[in-house]
Structure 1
Amino acid sequence: MEKTKSPTLKRSLSLKYIVFFGLSFMAPTTMFSTYGIAVHSTNGMMTTAYVVALIVMLFTAYSYAQMVKAYPTAGAAYTFTQKSLSPHIGFLAGWTILLDYVFSPMISSLFLGIAMNAYFPSVPMYVWISIFIVSITTINILGITIAAKFNTVILFLQFGTFTLFTVFSIKGLLNGQGAGTLFSILPFIDSNANMSGIMSMVPVLCFSFLGFDAVTTLSEEAKNPKKSIPRAIYLITIIGGTLYLIGSYFLQIVWPDYQSFNNPEAAYIDIAMYIGGNFLVSYILAEGTMSCFASAIASGASASRILYAMGREHVLPAKIFGYLSPKYRTPVYNLLIIGGIAFSSLFLSLTFAISLINFGALLTFTLVNLSVIAHYYFRKKQRSIMGTIRYLIIPLIGASLTGLFFVKLDIHSLILGGAWLAVGFLYLLNLTKMFRQPPPELVFEEAQ
């Protein structure tokens, strides 16, 4: 009797949709809602902090691009480190990066619940959060193509926010508002600024770039992944970084006195009202609500693919985590689990989630940078002059930068992230019978 063929992930994503998917994960317009607090932390030099964060992320994006050429599978950082460094480190990398993706939908749920409750205070927050989580889970279950197209629409609304804000900013500056000039070094250089404050903010801003790494989890659903995924990684990092630089620049020069905000968390509302009135405020608030959908869908899809890669190879229970719906060819059980975790937004704080995510992101970025050195420079012996530059010096700089900012995380991030890593380590001990056997390795099968 012929064995029934198991369903596989479907190759359906072109470069365009991969880039849109990654940018949707980033949700670039969230920089507006965090501006007031971030500009205080950087003493008015938020744009400079974004420049530093962009440089750090470009080095790491380079390493992700190199590794996806070697291993174009759904496991992403989990796969890269497992095959290049060691199976045990690979497991811990996958365990850690789950923090980024699994908790991102929870953050989006919380943002949306707070916003909708402010608009409609008579409706309990849990109602909005429940509707939101059910909606994003359903969209992801129906298929990656539907999710990508939905996110594309939302992404262009975000582009509209940046365009409108830039146009109103230029108009206001030309009319004498704010700094009264289109060109100023104020967002970049301030004699009163404290560099330690800027550097302490960079790890938080690196979280804003999550998205270039998320698309590597779609390698088995991308057309020609060895070319399209690396290109998407660079495009997402550069486009996202450019939007952050432009947005933070105009936010500051249209309102130079950043210390005058009554409520830093709502600073962007004051600025939008100042330059664009109710129209601009309404658009930014409405689009911000929709961007929560885009980010949650993208992060939920990415997390489900990592869980699927781990379940498929029996690192996690395969019947649950390695299951694909025969009809939709999506990891349904994983998406339901992620949706359930998102309901933690009803009782967990935003600070708690962001602390975990920053820990997971920077630790994983460091490991991926080191994976390039292990795979290409040592294993493949790419040690010519160009090989040394590409596969030793560049990733070593990337690892040094992400490692530096990892140790600069606040104590809450280190404690909470360390606790999560300790749980993963204990699970690994059980999985490998106290390291007497290696954890299961991924088998690289091209999706049909």
Structure 2
Amino acid sequence: MDPLVVFDSYGVVAQETKGHVALSYIVILVALLFTAYGYGQMVKAYPSAGSTYTYTQKSIHPMIGFLVGWSVLLDYLFLPMVNFAIGSAYLKAAFPKVPHAIWVFALAAIVTIINILGVKLTANMNTLFVTFQTLVLIVFVGFVVKGLISGMGQGTLVSISPFYTANIDLSLIMTGASILCFSFLGFDAVTTLSEETLNPKKTIPRAIFLIALIGGVLFTATSYFLHLIHPNYLSFKSADAASLEIASYIGGAFLHSFFLVGTMVAVFSSSLSSSTSASRLLFAMGREGSFPKIFAYLHPKWKTPVFNLLLIGFISLTAIFGELEVIYSFISFGALIGFLFVNLSVIFHYYLRQKRRKGFDFVRYFIVPLIGAAFTLWLFTSLNLSAMALGFSWLIIGVLYSVIVSKRKKELAFKFDKG
């Protein structure tokens, strides 16, 4: 989750929502603030690297926890892949003679190597990357404001059209919100670093709520200005790289080049974070016995799950194939499953198990997470049908894997008892 992620899906969602991207951002932000509250409550109960997987496993049921962890792997494992797909799309638009696959291979190799060398290096590089992205965002919006004042686009700084027009369609707004869930993927990833955070029960809940809130405000404001400066969302040559077209339109060659550099930095930043989070989730599932023990291996010098990172890098190469809109929704499938069960975990852990039901506890541990779960389900029903089919196929594979592993464990236990 980075400041420039709003640009990655803007063209696709603008066409999907008929120009109401800013409104879709408000819808998903409201839903995620309720879920952020749920994450904050659960990290107080279980400050471990497993995040949603651990919360569901310990609060509801181990089998359900595994399936939730398996579903969440969709966004953790495939988010680096979609970042490489986005990065290669921009680079292909800028350098059309270089094959798409070359860019994907190069991006995957660099990100994997940096992650293997340690979490401190990753964190320090991300701080630098996010600072630069913020600068790019400020410059970009500055050019937009200058263009609007000079009469470009709608020629005004104030308009309700990004939020409401006569052709607004609520179902399309919800579909857009479900796709824009992609922009927030990673706001929950901070919970996977609970074991590496000082005072996680206090720090993580604050961090996760602020990450969602600040990101949502930034994304809504940026998409608002993007619509004002380029209201004709049907005129993009390539919806996947629409923001690059807008950059050229408002700032010429300079902004085109500056924005391209910023986009590449964003790709690296988001890829580093998502690869780190995915490797830690695999590590937690390997340590708990849900996956083979090799997933729980840490390099003796760098203290990083090397094999997990190499696997994620290999999976990311699938960025060579696939359509971005379906990929966005496919990844959102896993994220929404995770968000749903975080809210349900709050109810199971605090309201049902600990019986904290009196006074304000009824609101904190039942009403608020119930609203969060309802919002998530509503978004879930708006996902792309192809993504739903892929998501449920992934879930079925997880069920089969779980059954096979469970059967194998029983056979080994039986042999051990006989021996």
TM over 0.5: yes
What are the residue-to-residue correspondences of 1:8-407 with 2, within 5 Å? 26-318=1-293, 320-407=294-381
Distance in 1 between residues matched to 2:300 and 2:238, nearest whole Å: 50
Contact 1:44 1:190 in 2 (8 A): no
Contact 2:89 2:241 in 1 (8 A): no
* 1:36–1:343 CA distance, 2 compared to 1 (3 A): closer
Distance in 1 between residues matched to 2:146 and 2:32, nearest whole Å: 32
> Alpha-carbon deviation of 1:37?
2.4
The amino acid across from 1:270 in the alignment is E
Contact 1:28 1:208 in 2 (8 A): no
Distance in 2 between residues matched to 1:231 and 1:424, nearest whole Å: 33
Question: Which residue number corresponds to residue 399 of structure 2?
Answer: 425
The share of aligned pairs that are identical, in percent, is 49
Gap regions ≥5 residues in structure 2:
412-419
* 1:231–1:341 CA distance, 2 compared to 1 (3 A): same
Q: Secondary structure at the match of 1:176?
A: coil
> Alpha-carbon deviation of 1:122?
4.3
Distance in 2 between residues matched to 1:37 and 1:297, nearest whole Å: 24
The amino acid across from 1:227 in the alignment is K
RMSD over aligned CA atoms reads 1.9
> Alpha-carbon deviation of 1:79?
0.2
* 1:398–1:124 CA distance, 2 compared to 1 (3 A): same
Normalising by structure 1, report the TM-score: 0.87
Q: Secondary structure at the match of 2:87?
A: helix
Distance in 1 between residues matched to 2:29 and 2:94, nearest whole Å: 35
Contact 2:89 2:240 in 1 (8 A): no
Distance in 2 between residues matched to 1:368 and 1:202, nearest whole Å: 19
> Alpha-carbon deviation of 1:403?
1.1
Distance in 2 between residues matched to 1:393 and 1:72, nearest whole Å: 23
* 1:170–1:198 CA distance, 2 compared to 1 (3 A): same
The amino acid across from 2:88 in the alignment is G
Q: How many residues align?
A: 411
Task: Tell me which stretches of 4 or more aligned residues in structure 1 moved more than 6 Å.
Answer: 434-437
Gap regions ≥5 residues in structure 1:
1-25, 438-448
> Alpha-carbon deviation of 1:267?
3.1
Contact 2:90 2:244 in 1 (8 A): no
1:409 correspondence with 2:383: yes
Task: Give CA deviations for 1:126-171 in whole Å, capped at 9, x if unaligned.
Answer: 3332222121111111111100111111111211122112212222
* 1:32–1:133 CA distance, 2 compared to 1 (3 A): same
Q: Secondary structure at the match of 2:260?
A: helix
The amino acid across from 2:169 in the alignment is N
The amino acid across from 1:289 in the alignment is M
Distance in 2 between residues matched to 1:411 and 1:258, nearest whole Å: 23
Could you tell which deviates more after superposition, 37-46 or 50-59?
37-46
Distance in 2 between residues matched to 1:264 and 1:341, nearest whole Å: 25
> Alpha-carbon deviation of 1:352?
4.9
